[in-house]
Structure 1
Amino acid sequence: MTIVGWFNKLRGHQASGGEPDGFDAAPKILEPTVLSLPSSGFTSQETTPPYTPKTEIASPFDSQDTLGLGLEKRPEFGRLASWRGSLILLVTSGSQFLDNVFMTSANMALSSIQKEFDVNSGNLQWMISAYTLAFGGFLLLAGVVSDRYGRKNILCGGLFWLSIWTLVIGFGHTFIQICIFRGLQGIGAAMTVPSAIGIISSYFTGTDRTRALSIYAASGTLGFCAGLIFGGFLTSSLGWRYIFYIIVIITGSLCILGTIVLPKDVFSEKKKVKMDYIGALLSTAGLILLQFVLSGGGVYGWGQPFIIALLIVCVAMLVGFVVLEKYISNPIMPLSLWKLRNFAGLWIAGFTGYGSYQNVIYYIVLMAQQVDKLSAGDTAIRFLPMGAIGFIVSMGTGKLLEYMNGKHLLLIGMALAVLAPVPSSLTASPDTSFWVNVLPTSLISISAVSLIFVTTTTVILTSVPVSIKSLCGGMLNTAFQIGSGFALAISAAVTEEVDIKKGHGLAQQYSTGLWCSAGLAGLGLIAALIAVRRKGIGPQDRLGGEPVAL
């Protein structure tokens, strides 16, 4: 059959509602397009009016266009209510779940690790900080690399890298080795987050995308709680090393499954641009140094000369990065991104809301174990309601976003974040029990962060072109990580001056740290009221299709 005859047959099948031979995919809904991205920035959500959704069969030709007809393969789209869609969501959400499990399960093992390696309290926190430093520092770079070199490649590569170093941690012989391996593990975790977000946002559309992002966010909050529970049980029974022995089985399985089911990356010759290596170096090194200073300032003292010197260096690096991105022709972070409606406000809300939450968790876990005198296993059991509430609220938030404006849900979340530390702050005392001084705060705080996490993630990722979704996912998660370090640094400094130097007890110290969490969340609430507008983040804006960069 000639090519002309083939296309006539194709038109006939489309007109009659059927599918041509050789097509096994459902008709694809084409989405509105946006103006091309200039090399130094981009234009957001400028659709070609008037917009009328069309139904069209995807091209059968490869992106290489072997027949010379000028056709190019489009990215794959799919439905959540299908076997492949469910498996894709399992891999992406599973990676988010595990990233948070790794972050919190180690908290429950700190006492055991301290005893085994005879580590002093000042150095013990590097077991946690090594992971968060690498994780937060590489998120932006991982987002850029995912968008440019393939989200499937980076996600599967990250899971493979994560599996290697997770197993190695379990066989570590010294505390220094474990800290180094934890840092390398954090790099793998950073590779999985932006790539997973990009895959979800580009593969699913409309209501499916909103629900998939909600499940992804719910897996994060559930993973955070599961890490506390899982780490507590294993530490109390088999030993802390089994945390890593068992989890590596899951990461390896997700890596294999991802290579099979994840959609193939579609590359266009037109989009090949030179990588901004200098910008990548400045941003990654600057973010790692910033988090090191935020973590180390509270441990070694903000007046230490090396802390001050490192702070100056990291500020210079980040300022240099911003200046470079303004003038370079191929920026890894276009500054025009910050001009998008609500982007800056949502970023600040994520920074303050998630930072406040992590600070609350840090102090209530310490309160449960050191004030209420609970073992790791007993603490894990008592945090079970927190995990259940987190999952329910996250899923409920995704459903509410289909009917409510995103700003309203965000403000509710920020208000709860302000309220969450108050019960524990007021009742912090050796005379009270976990059910009084920890449980209420844990339930309110997980509800608050679920609302904030789901809302900010969903709204931001449905407001930007498909070509930079992984970058934006990396930037949002960078806000979460820096916010966490900032909150801990501020509360540690305040607690040092207000309580530790005056000889106050642990309960009073933790109460002060929790009040700092409420203050940070209050600043975020004010910023959300002022900087986030209702326009552009309603249900009709998210469910009506998403702009795709040409």
Structure 2
Amino acid sequence: MTIFNLFRRSGQHAGQNNTLSEDGVDSRDNIPKYSESTISTPATTENSVVSRTESPTGSLESPSLQKPEIDLELEMVPMAPETHGRLGSWRGSMILLVTSGSQFLDNVFMTSSNMALASIQEEFGVSSTNLQWMISAYTLAFGGFLLLAGSLSDRYGRKMILCLGLFWLTIWTLAIGFGQSFIQLTIFRGIQGIGASLTVPSAIGIISSYFTGVDRTRGLSIYAASGTVGFCAGLIFGGFLTSSLGWRYLFYLIPIIPGCLGILGLIVLPKDREATKDRQRMDYLGAVLSTVGLILLQFVLSSGGRYGWGDPFIIVILVLAVGFLVGFVIYEKYISNPLMPLSLWTIPNFAGLWIAGFTCYGSYQNIIYYIVLMAQKVDGLSAGDTAIRFLPMGAIGFIVSLGTGKLLEYINAKYCLIAGLVLSVVAAVPSAATATLTENFWINTLATSLISISAVSFIFVTTSTTILTSVPVEVKSLCGGMLNTAFQIGSGVALAISAATTSAVDIQKGHGLAQQYATGLWCSTGFAGLGLVIGVFAVRRKGASPKDRLGGPVAV
């Protein structure tokens, strides 16, 4: 079954003297010079795909019918998106500010709360086991709703979903600050995570559809860089604010940022296209199956180590999670309006890049978990001192992200991917090798922090850019959600493997904290090594060159 048939607006040919604004809009009638739309007719939906070719003069020839080899066949050829946005224009800069600002905030919310955990535990008298729910509640909702959020963005409008997510974050972050019990804080954190999940796919979709060619690559690299800055800003802001004014001010002051970004987004973000009258119904059952399955899987991965992997409760939840996800895949195969078209997985390099993101981000989050603990519990640093020492990490991440975007303008994306995966493999080695030898942060933690942030910057920019230039505009947000789902699940899997290994190898034998952290870090190396092997063989150079990424996909 053909899912996407994209074509350029046939009423506007190269021979017409249309006047374009800086955003590629015809100034006479305010209509985009080129647009993409979906063909879905009984004559072409089941057995054929409409193919439109462009003559040397730029005009469109008559469509022809041909038998497809796969359900969704996409080629990397130049194609004009809905509007032509320039990164250097005032509006392009404002759009990038809103979208990258949302990525910045998602990482601030993730890391700043870590710095407030000790104060929250002291105020509410929470046990160490239950304290983790302040983090887990956010990641459960964030990872569980990403796929649904991506589909909603593509279906109902990226601008609407992004602004909704930003205002949602504003409200529920404030609610956390006013919470009067730990249960309230945990519930509000989970609801806050839903807002974060709404911002990620929509922001990625806006960048990848509004900008083209080199501007798209640079926009995605800036988006990735804002995440690394947000990670470090969260540590610093959370550490200093918690130790000075108190942890509640963390949730009183941060909402100012998403509130302002939401208002700015309503003004500057490109207008959502109006829904067509013949739009198919939303795949509600698929949405329920995928969301519940992902939330249950995230719960098992984040809680298995605390409850015990042999606990009947964890086993039942895991079986239910797998059942929901398998049921989702089977259901999507047989319906006409799937939430996640399975044909996306047949796009060249899509699966390989997804797995690369899964393993690299999992390894990265596992490393961060252990080196932060090492800095505080082995090296004896306070929260504020730890935050200061991680400043170089944020700077390096920002530089490498922007540099990767520049490199992708000249070299094949596979080479950047392999470079990132190799760095992922070696990132944990310095800390793992020196953890038991010294209690000096600059020796046993700094090198690993800089290598790991460089690795994840390479991988994030490369996977995002390559995947989002090989799918139709109608599913860019969905694919952004799928890629970030890989990141979230990978993080949970890596931490679960490390926790189980550390428990068996060190904790049960009474080994010290430094030895436990070293074992967890060696697990990161193994996890990243798996990704490197898969990346080498599953990702091809074909379709990943700079020339391929200058345009976009078109169905043929």
TM-score, normalisation: structure 2: 0.88
* 8 Å contact from structure 1 (residues 371, 429) kept in 2: no
Task: Indicate which of 364, 374, 385 corresponds to 1:378.
Answer: 385
Q: Does 1:547 align with 2:549?
A: no
Alignment-derived partner of residue 418 in structure 1: 425
Residue identity in the other structure for 1:403:
Y
Task: Indicate which of 200, 205, 208 corresponds to 2:212.
Answer: 205
With over 3 angstroms needed to count, the CA separation of the structure-2 counterparts of 1:342 and 1:46, relative to structure 1, is: farther
C-alpha distance in 1, partners of 2:347/2:46? 10
* 8 Å contact from structure 2 (residues 34, 82) kept in 1: no
Alignment-derived partner of residue 5 in structure 1: none
Alignment-derived partner of residue 199 in structure 2: 192
Alignment-derived partner of residue 287 in structure 2: 280
C-alpha distance in 1, partners of 2:420/2:46? 31
Alignment-derived partner of residue 67 in structure 1: none
Residue identity in the other structure for 1:335:
L
Residue identity in the other structure for 1:241:
R
C-alpha distance in 2, partners of 1:407/1:37? 37
Alignment-derived partner of residue 333 in structure 2: 326
The residue correspondences of 1:119-138 to structure 2 (distance < 5 A) are 119-138=126-145
Unaligned runs of 5+ in 2: 1-11, 61-80
With over 3 angstroms needed to count, the CA separation of the structure-2 counterparts of 1:540 and 1:177, relative to structure 1, is: same
Q: Deviations over 1:300-336 (max 9, x none)?
A: 1001111001111111100000000000111000111
Q: Secondary structure at the match of 2:270?
A: coil
Give the CA deviation at 1:77.
3.0
Alignment-derived partner of residue 90 in structure 2: 83
Unaligned runs of 5+ in 1: 1-9, 57-73
Q: Deviations over 1:50-72 (max 9, x none)?
A: 5658499xxxxxxxxxxxxxxxx
With over 3 angstroms needed to count, the CA separation of the structure-2 counterparts of 1:40 and 1:318, relative to structure 1, is: farther
Task: Indicate which of 97, 119, 133 corresponds to 1:112.
Answer: 119
Alignment-derived partner of residue 354 in structure 1: 361
With over 3 angstroms needed to count, the CA separation of the structure-2 counterparts of 1:195 and 1:52, relative to structure 1, is: farther
Q: Secondary structure at the match of 2:255?
A: helix
Q: Secondary structure at the match of 1:547?
A: strand
* 8 Å contact from structure 2 (residues 14, 59) kept in 1: no
* 8 Å contact from structure 1 (residues 34, 46) kept in 2: no
Number of paired residues?
A: 522
Alignment-derived partner of residue 540 in structure 2: 533
Q: Does 1:477 align with 2:484?
A: yes
Q: Deviations over 1:310-368 (max 9, x none)?
A: 11111110000000000011100011110000000000000000010000000000000
Alignment-derived partner of residue 465 in structure 1: 472
Q: Does 1:398 align with 2:375?
A: no
* 8 Å contact from structure 1 (residues 78, 204) kept in 2: yes
The residue correspondences of 1:515-534 to structure 2 (distance < 5 A) are 515-534=522-541
C-alpha distance in 1, partners of 2:349/2:15? 44
C-alpha distance in 2, partners of 1:433/1:44? 65
Q: Does 1:23 align with 2:23?
A: no
C-alpha distance in 2, partners of 1:521/1:41? 41
Give the CA deviation at 1:205.
1.1
Give the CA deviation at 1:192.
0.5
* 8 Å contact from structure 2 (residues 239, 383) kept in 1: yes
Name which of structure 1's ranges 402-411 and 121-130 shifts more when overlaid on structure 2. 121-130
C-alpha distance in 1, partners of 2:205/2:45? 19
Give the CA deviation at 1:217.
1.2
Q: Deviations over 1:2-42 (max 9, x none)?
A: xxxxxxxx9999559799x9927999774899976999999
TM-score, normalisation: structure 1: 0.89
Q: Does 1:146 align with 2:153?
A: yes
C-alpha distance in 2, partners of 1:37/1:400? 42
* 8 Å contact from structure 2 (residues 35, 82) kept in 1: no
* 8 Å contact from structure 1 (residues 34, 47) kept in 2: no
Alignment-derived partner of residue 93 in structure 1: 100
Q: Deviations over 1:413-464 (max 9, x none)?
A: 0000000000000110373300011100000000000000000011000110
Give the CA deviation at 1:212.
0.7
Alignment-derived partner of residue 167 in structure 2: 160
C-alpha distance in 1, partners of 2:486/2:444? 29
* 8 Å contact from structure 1 (residues 405, 537) kept in 2: yes
Residue identity in the other structure for 1:546:
G
C-alpha distance in 2, partners of 1:189/1:489? 23
Give the CA deviation at 1:48.
3.6
C-alpha distance in 1, partners of 2:452/2:47? 37
Kindly report the root-mean-square deviation, in angstroms, between the aligned alpha carbons of the 2 structures: 2.9
Q: Secondary structure at the match of 1:269?
A: coil
Q: Does 1:315 align with 2:322?
A: yes
Q: Secondary structure at the match of 1:132?
A: helix
Alignment-derived partner of residue 4 in structure 1: none
Residue identity in the other structure for 1:313:
L
With over 3 angstroms needed to count, the CA separation of the structure-2 counterparts of 1:549 and 1:219, relative to structure 1, is: farther
Task: Indicate which of 172, 183, 187 corresponds to 2:179.
Answer: 172
With over 3 angstroms needed to count, the CA separation of the structure-2 counterparts of 1:11 and 1:250, relative to structure 1, is: closer
With over 3 angstroms needed to count, the CA separation of the structure-2 counterparts of 1:52 and 1:403, relative to structure 1, is: farther
* 8 Å contact from structure 1 (residues 33, 48) kept in 2: no
Alignment-derived partner of residue 252 in structure 2: 245
C-alpha distance in 1, partners of 2:536/2:360? 13
C-alpha distance in 1, partners of 2:472/2:455? 28
With over 3 angstroms needed to count, the CA separation of the structure-2 counterparts of 1:16 and 1:494, relative to structure 1, is: closer
Q: Equivalent pairs: percent with the same residue? A: 71
